[in-house]
Amino acid sequence: MKYPLILMTLIGINQISQAQEDKFQWLEEVASEKSLQFVHAQNKATLEKLSQEKDYQSIYDKSLEISNSSNKIVYPGIRGKYVYNFWKDKDHERGILRRCLLTDYTNGKTNWETLLDIDELSKKDNIKWVYKGSSGLRPSYNRLLIQLSNGGSDAVFIKEFDVEKKQFLENGFQIDEAKGSAGYIDENTLIVSTDFGEGTMTTSGYPNQVKIWKRGTSLKDAQLIYEGQQTDVGTWGGTMEDGMKTYVSISRASSFFTTQKLIWIDNKIVTLDIPEDCTINGLLNDELVIQLKSDWTIDSKTYKNGVLLSLNFTQLLNGKKTIQVIVQPDEFSSISEVSATKNKLLVNMLSNVTSQLYIYSFTNGKWTNQQVKAPDFGTISLISTDEFSDQYFFQYENFITPTTLYAADAEKNTFEANKSLPSYFDANKYEVKQFKAKSKDGTLVPYFMIAAKNVKNDGTNPTLIVAYGGYEVSYQPFYMSTYGNAWLDKGGVFVLANIRGGGEFGPKWHQDGMKEKRQNVFDDLYAVSEDLIAQKVTSPKHLGIMGGSNGGLLVGVAFTQRPDLYNAVVCQVPLLDMQRFNKLLAGASWMGEYGNPDIPEEWEYIQKYSPYQNLKEGMNYPEVFFTTSTRDDRVHPGHARKMVAKMNDMGYKTYYYENMEGGHAGSSTNEQSAKASAMMFSYLLMKLR
């Protein structure tokens, strides 16, 4: 009977042995001289090669022109009587935070008032600041908590800003660099989650304490109101607003997908008796809106996963439940966004991966809805809502229709176009089709294909598949501004694959790609690839794949499991060493998605696909293009570095470029983004044409 225990011990010893044999682990030292020498040499070789490709300069110029264009949509964030906007162009490389009156904005009179110039601040401080957002003091918004990142990392400095004086407060609230957060409870009180010192951060690198900080006192003397565990993903404080009421909320995430929700009220903690894997979508008219990720049985009644519910909040705080169903998606739909105005609830649905927007009203204890008659067969995104009125903004786009921003009124259910992008390519030459491929287990996997109307199915079309397949993230149609010029106009076919692991069809679609079911995600990608080949749209010689972050893992697995299918792979800010992912930066927080490689039973299924461990000599791998960022403090750049070093050591040719700033987003400026696009498309055209 001791045999299983002995076997598990041997597996554990074998894991340790494998980790010790990693001769490229030194590349995990992000800023060591030896690591950066490796990076600079790789960058130089890749840029020298790709910048000489015939299309490089034209793609760079067009991409930069689009990014710097004054015809871009100026996205509004409603705050009181103003809209706020963060803007980058050729004159503002790092961007400016500005505002104008909401009434002026909706009437086309954009008299912008610059509040903060990040370029000027960067020069003054001699730091490459990246603006990461801000939170404001309701309802006046005369004070902001500005988040600034050094080089684009997730860790931020938080500084209090006086909007009227357009300057940081000399003795205002200020929090040192950390992966933390802060928000106003009132003018003189913050709720703070940050690095308070030794023992106050989790193994994932996030806060595990929440404190109340009063103006005029030291942060170290702030009042501790809640503490999670260091093995949690993290614990954060925040606020929930319902009209002029403000509730102090706490979220303790024990894993990436399970969060205990608590309210700090009357100097005590109240735990909300709702499922830990549900998401809170808002608070409206004393109704707490949540979405279930698994079935929930209350008083012999079962509410199914994916459903949107509301609970009377006052009763919930007192341990009682009155539950109303808002909407239950069917097997072909899911809820992509939920947001509240003053009196209405906006629910953005996905049906067969295209958007439908609804306005819900809560009257006489029941929810009723009206559909917003926005354009069909594309993607609707909620841009901003106003908590003090029923005004809101949304946008519509599809692959070949330029993005249009609409100003809308939820009370009247009306909307009108506010601003549209220009056409960056001739859409009349192209058409969008949706197909379904049958995966290995028989599941039908949808994908969009965008190609020239006169495309010939002769197996020679350069074809790029983009996919993600994780974390319940849905990949939806988007306007192909840069892709249109750099890919479609050069004879390329573009494919967006809605594989399992995403959220396109609700929680189950995601759960069918998690942990031990992750091979489904990869099989779905192969099914789409083989369907395109069977239709003679393309062939392996002309087929490429691209993915970033979790999508980088996807394409890393794909070229190691099925090198016969692809001739080009763009692997961006990837996870690749799945034996050590939970030891690097925020990696421990993702074990809810992938499993724990330190548990033998879970490593058993992870090791079957982990790209770094599954590299073999003598294979016909494509020449992969890896990209990452030195300042990425979410997915460690060591993943991509080590993969390249190991492949090169085995004799495989690769391309590698590591931006020295930019964080997980990859780029901090429009110039860096244009350079990344030029390299990427030059590589794809070189390999697939």
Sheet strand arrangement including 568-572: 430-438, 444-452, 493-497, 463-466, 543-548, 568-572, 625-629, 655-659
Decide if pLDDT at 417 tops 50: yes
Lowest mean pLDDT among 335-349, 377-391, 652-666: 652-666
Write down the pLDDT at residue 9: 38
Contacting residues for 100 by C-beta, under 8 A, at least 6 apart? 82, 83, 85, 109, 110, 111, 112, 113
The structure tokens listed for 225 are 């109101």
At 346 the three-state DSSP class reads strand
The structure tokens listed for 105 are 């904005």
Write down the pLDDT at residue 663: 63
**645 compared with 635, residue with greater pLDDT:** 645
CA–CA distances in Å: residue 454 to residues 42, 53, 544? 40, 27, 21
At 597 the three-state DSSP class reads coil
Decide if pLDDT at 635 tops 80: yes
Unique residue bearing structure tokens 């819900």: 360
667: confidence class by pLDDT, cuts 50, 70, 90: low
Write down the pLDDT at residue 662: 60
Q: What is the mean pLDDT of residues 526-555?
A: 99
Write out the E strands in 43-155: 77-79, 82-89, 92-101, 113-117, 129-136, 143-150
Write down the pLDDT at residue 1: 34
Write out the E strands in 163-306: 167-168, 174-178, 181-186, 189-193, 209-214, 223-227, 234-242, 245-255, 258-265, 268-271, 279-284, 287-291, 296-298, 301-303
Decide if pLDDT at 59 tops 50: yes
Taking only the tens place, the pLDDT of each residue in 80-123 is: 999 999 999 889 999 999 999 999 999 988 899 999 999 999 99
Taking only the tens place, the pLDDT of each residue in 266-320 is: 999 999 999 999 999 999 999 999 999 999 999 999 999 999 999 999 999 999 9
pLDDT above 90 covers what percent of the chain? Answer: 91
pLDDT above 70 covers what percent of the chain? Answer: 96
Residues designated catalytic: 549, 664
Question: Residue 2: exposed, middle, or buried by beta-carbon count in 10 A (0-12, 13-18, 19+)?
Answer: exposed
- Mean pLDDT over the full length of the chain: 94
- Cα 254 to Cα 234: distance, rounded to the nearest angstrom: 7
- Cα 504 to Cα 495: distance, rounded to the nearest angstrom: 16
- Cα 205 to Cα 102: distance, rounded to the nearest angstrom: 39
Q: What is the mean pLDDT of residues 577-582?
A: 97
Decide if pLDDT at 3 tops 50: no
661: confidence class by pLDDT, cuts 50, 70, 90: low
In DSSP terms, which residues pair with 417 in a beta bridge?
A: 406
The DSSP code for 207 is: B
Select from 626, 683, 625, 628 the least CA-distant residue to 660: 628
Decide if pLDDT at 4 tops 50: no
Taking only the tens place, the pLDDT of each residue in 306-343 is: 999 999 999 999 999 999 999 999 999 999 999 999 99
Write down the pLDDT at residue 21: 81
- Listing DSSP states for 423-491 in one string gives PSS-GGGEEEEEEEEE-TTS-EEEEEEEEETT---SS---EEEE----TTPPP-----HHHHHHTGGGT
Helix (H) / strand (E) containing 357: strand 354-363
- Listing DSSP states for 270-321 in one string gives EE--S-TT-EEEEEETTEEEEE-SS-EEETTEEEPTT-EEEEEHHHHHTT--
Q: What is the mean pLDDT of residues 460-483?
A: 98
At 269 the three-state DSSP class reads strand
Write down the pLDDT at residue 8: 36
Write down the pLDDT at residue 668: 65
Unique residue bearing structure tokens 């030891």: 583
Classify the phi-psi angles of 264: left when phi > 0, otherwise alpha if psi is within -120 to 50, otherwise beta.
Answer: beta
- Cα 657 to Cα 64: distance, rounded to the nearest angstrom: 19
Measured in Å, how far apart are the chain's first and last C-alpha atoms?
A: 60
Q: CB under 8 Å, gap of 24 or more: what pairs does 287-295 form? A: 287/311, 287/312, 287/313, 287/324, 287/362, 288/312, 288/313, 288/316, 289/326, 289/338, 289/340, 289/345, 291/335, 291/338, 292/507, 293/257, 293/507, 294/507
477: confidence class by pLDDT, cuts 50, 70, 90: very high
The structure tokens listed for 644 are 């390249």
Please give the radius of gyration of the chain, using alpha carbons only, rounded to the nearest integer.
25
Is cis: bond before 637, omega within 30 of 0?
no
